[in-house]
Amino acid sequence: MTQKPKLLTITLLACLSLAQGQTIPNGLLFQNELEQESRDLSWLARDVAGDSLSDSHSSRTDGRTRRTHPIDNIYRQNSHIRRTMEDLENEMPYYQTGVRGDPEFRVSYKNHPFDRLRVEREAAAGGDEQHRNLQDESETTTEQTNPFKPIRIHFDTSALDAERTSSNGQKVDFVKNIILPRMSDFWSSALSVVPVEGNLLISTADLQGRVYCGDSEFAKVPSNHISTGVPDTDLVLYVSGTPSTRFCGPSTLAVAVACNFDQFDRPIAGAVNFCLDQIEIDDDGTASDSIIDDNVDVAIHECAHVLGMSSNSYRFFWDPDTGLPRTYRPFEARTVVCVNGKEMTLILPSDNTMKFFIATNGQRYASIVTPKVATVARNQFDCQELNGAQLENQPTGENSCTGDHWDERMFYPELLSGVISPTTNYLSPLTLALLEDSGWYMANYTKSNVSPWGHGVGCDFVSSPCLVGGGNGRDGSVPSYGKGFFCNKASSRGCSPGATHKMACTVIDYSLRGSSVPDSQFQYFSDSGIGGPREGDYCPVYGSVYSGYKAEELDCRISSNNNAIDVIYSEQYGENSMCFETTSGEGRCYNARCIYEDFNLQLQVDGKWYTCNEDFAQIPVSTLSGAFGTTVTCPRLSSVCPDMFCPANCAGRGNCVFPDGTSSNSYGSENATRPRCECFDTSDTSAGCSDTFVLDGKYLRDGSGLTDKIKTSFFEPLIAVFVDHPDTWTTASWAWAAALFVVFLLMILCICSSFWPEKEKKSPQMKRYAV
């Protein structure tokens, strides 16, 4: 096809898109035809995030779309709130000493493993025949049945209901009827505990003023919870909705803290406060799926802090093998140099739980080094030399020594990192491993999702810079181990880490924000004020929306995101679609499947299936029934199909063995060997050392059912725009369509007229004049 008909078709499609009220992304009309690798979007490079860092919407300045960075920061912009939560914990003598305020308080359990281990120790030490009999009885009962059952969560929402007004009533109902049940369903399916026998009693010794859970502005514990207890419950969450600025800021949706503990230090009660002003719902009280997911993600995140993911909780962990605390009691303060370089004297967990290290760039950090956490971290990155999983080295609390979250640079999309991503958040095996290592829970790893971030890449991803060769007047470049994760140009458009969304590169000019510029060890650009998000050690990632879109509108998994312009690239949005980098200049959405037996990825473009057999392979594809051509870049298989590698990172119960070459791009070939779990229990032959791999629509056993579709004619997509949903067109849309039809006829008439025969023209006769 010649150039003019192609451009004519693109112009018609653009006009049709406008007729339907759709927007046209910057640079869209010609980028595919020119196959340009980059566009002149330098005006994006100095975008100022400012306080809009948590805003997923875009603003327009001087007719141009300014990207915002849709990263919902839980505590960073309101670090005083995290400090307030830490102060609540530190005010409790229990947190400072590890000694119970009421030593007689005990929760009733049947066949608790720690009771059994205590009996064994006492029997071994004293040779008491009675203890031996108890030991034998306990062992028999334990062997007959697994004492762990799904955790039962009870919500007391009386304090939340007390905040109800005519203006926020729908938000209160949204929390009670949508957020809390979904959060409870998740944790009940993800974690099991030894169930409480009888009613769960609440001890007044750990309550503020002996009546409040956490703080007097949160919930007051009902007296019957103290006297008679709560039936059929393993954890009580007291839910409140105070708007106090002590706990609510411009970007804080919720906060949480534990306020009661059993004799094994397991949290049995906690407070969760929702900042109702930060909840965005429609006028009718409903919300989009993406808004619901975001709110539920934050609720799950906050509940995890109650369950044990907190800097003040690590010291209370118990060793499940010995039935003893990992940190001896009473606690003793020690002086350490914290991750911010400041020296502090404070209570910290034992070195068998958390240790300090220094990175190759000189940055100090702390890591959780418990057994399952260390194993999962090593398997995540294919780096068996790791000591554990790194905590945030830029804590969200102003005076925090180690932080309450996983490090953003190492675990960017993890739900329990310090930042909630606008795209996809992964409650990964790492967080479940941490909670298991507390000694209080047994995890169901089928409820976790292996994070795509750095998965199977190797130790360089962990220990080396995200950009290399930067600073000193030069911009850094993306190394091979950072490909698909990091970027170095604000004009770059690609895909989110898990290939779920189209995203733009997040590059921020901190000098324009009035903020301190990146430290010397985080200098990646010629301009010292330029860097990525602060929480991620200033590493630029694909984490910004663009062209006026919201994050949900760039989600490849939402079928309604298809628009008229997408037919140019034969894009297909849907439940099993993924984002692929292309030479069109930005990510494109295509139907895709992970093929388990073939150990490869297949994608469908314009009805035809293509196979990715190598990371970053370039596959030429035709779009719009062969009218156009572009090139698709295959992603890292370990990122988009992580469960085809060691499922759930072997659940912390084995090592993931990556054969040579597997983690460096070779897969799907005849000689490739699938990574596998070598379980510590040699009798365990499961794929992930637990029940961890479930085939779904994204994963297929084989590709036998994937057949090419008959291609449509070139004009079929154009006709479909008119005929698919005529009932949704407005009068203005029909006027546009009619005008376009007239223009189209005139263009056809003009083209045809050029072929019509012309009448012979007579030459003018010369007049003769007499001389």
What would the pLDDT profile of 106-136 be if each residue is shown by its tens digit?
999 999 999 999 999 888 887 655 555 555 5
Q: Which residues pair with 530 in a beta bridge?
A: 509
Q: For residue 672, what pLDDT is reported?
A: 56
Answer whether residue 217 shows pLDDT above 90: yes
Answer whether residue 562 shows pLDDT above 80: yes
Band of pLDDT at residue 629, cut at 50, 70 and 90 = confident
Q: For residue 692, what pLDDT is reported?
A: 60
Q: For residue 730, what pLDDT is reported?
A: 55
Q: For residue 622, what pLDDT is reported?
A: 87
Higher pLDDT, 470 or 417: 417
Going by C-alpha positions, the residue among 296, 297, 215, 298 that lies closest to residue 257 is 215
Q: E strands within 118-197?
A: 149-150, 153-156, 191-193
Tokens of 97: 């000493």
Helix (H) or strand (E) holding 628: strand 628-633
Share of the chain above pLDDT 90, in %: 59
- 442-443 β-sheet, strand order: 149-150, 191-193, 442-443
Q: For residue 356, what pLDDT is reported?
A: 96
Higher pLDDT, 258 or 22: 258
Q: Among 42-56, 316-330, 341-355, 652-666, name the one with the lowest average pLDDT.
A: 42-56
d(CA 331, CA 160): 36
Tokens of 240: 């409140």
pLDDT tens digits for range 675-730: 999 999 999 988 899 876 666 667 888 877 776 665 554 455 555 555 555 555 55
Q: For residue 376, what pLDDT is reported?
A: 98
d(CA 506, CA 490): 6
- Residues with Cβ within 8 Å of 293's Cβ and at least 6 positions away in sequence, in order, are none
Answer whether residue 47 shows pLDDT above 60: no
d(CA 600, CA 662): 12
Band of pLDDT at residue 514, cut at 50, 70 and 90 = confident
Answer whether residue 589 shows pLDDT above 70: yes
- Residues with Cβ within 8 Å of 414's Cβ and at least 6 positions away in sequence, in order, are 406, 425, 426, 427, 428, 430, 431, 451, 453
Answer whether residue 163 shows pLDDT above 80: yes
Q: Do 16 and 743 contact (CB within 8 A), yes or no? A: no
Q: For residue 45, what pLDDT is reported?
A: 28
Q: For residue 20, what pLDDT is reported?
A: 44
d(CA 465, CA 470): 10
Number of H helices, E strands in the chain: 18, 32
Q: Among 156-165, 261-270, 559-568, name the one with the lowest average pLDDT.
A: 559-568
Answer whether residue 166 shows pLDDT above 90: yes
Does the CA dihedral 326-330-335-338 come out positive or negative?
positive
Whether 86 sits among the annotated catalytic residues: the reply is no
Instruction: Give the CA dihedral 694, 697, 703, 707, nearest 10 degrees.
Output: 170
- Residues with Cβ within 8 Å of 579's Cβ and at least 6 positions away in sequence, in order, are 494, 495, 496, 499, 500, 501, 502, 556, 587, 588, 589
Answer whether residue 444 shows pLDDT above 50: yes
Q: Among 608-617, 646-655, 716-725, name the one with the lowest average pLDDT.
A: 716-725
How remote is the C-alpha of 351 from its chain's centroid?
29
Q: Do 336 and 401 contact (CB within 8 A), yes or no? A: yes
Phi, psi of 207 (to 5 degrees): -85, 145
Answer whether residue 746 shows pLDDT above 50: yes
**Average confidence (pLDDT) over 472-480:** 91
Q: Among 111-125, 208-222, 435-449, 495-509, name the one with the lowest average pLDDT.
A: 111-125
**Average confidence (pLDDT) over 549-565:** 89
Answer whether residue 38 shows pLDDT above 50: no
Q: What is the mean pLDDT of the chain?
A: 82
Band of pLDDT at residue 338, cut at 50, 70 and 90 = very high
Q: For residue 128, what pLDDT is reported?
A: 58
Give 129-182 as a DSSP string: HHHHHHHHHHHHHHHHS---EEPPEEEE-HHHHHT--TTTHHHHHHIIIIIHHH
Phi, psi of 587 (to 5 degrees): -70, 150
pLDDT tens digits for range 354-384: 999 999 888 899 999 999 999 999 999 999 9
Answer whether residue 55 shows pLDDT above 60: no
Q: For residue 704, what pLDDT is reported?
A: 74
Band of pLDDT at residue 423, cut at 50, 70 and 90 = confident
Ligand-binding site membership of 154 (annotated): no
Ligand-binding site membership of 725 (annotated): no
pLDDT tens digits for range 226-241: 999 999 999 999 999 9
Of 86, 89, 302, 414, which one is the catalytic site residue? 302
Answer whether residue 496 shows pLDDT above 60: yes
d(CA 203, CA 92): 13
Q: For residue 49, what pLDDT is reported?
A: 30
Answer whether residue 348 shows pLDDT above 70: yes
Q: For residue 67, what pLDDT is reported?
A: 35
Instruction: Give the CA dihedral 603, 608, 614, 616, nearest 10 degrees.
Output: -70
Domains of the chain (ranges; CATH) run 78-110+147-307 (3.10.170.20)
Q: Is the peptide bond before 330 cis (omega within 30 degrees of 0)?
A: yes
**Average confidence (pLDDT) over 211-237:** 97
Higher pLDDT, 43 or 87: 87
- Residues with Cβ within 8 Å of 224's Cβ and at least 6 positions away in sequence, in order, are none
Ligand-binding site membership of 301 (annotated): yes
Distances from the Cα of 707 to the Cα of 23, 406, 474, 538, angstroms: 33, 43, 48, 44
Q: Do 499 and 423 contact (CB within 8 A), yes or no? A: no
Q: For residue 389, what pLDDT is reported?
A: 98
Q: What is the DSSP pairing of strand 600-605 with strand 587-595?
A: antiparallel
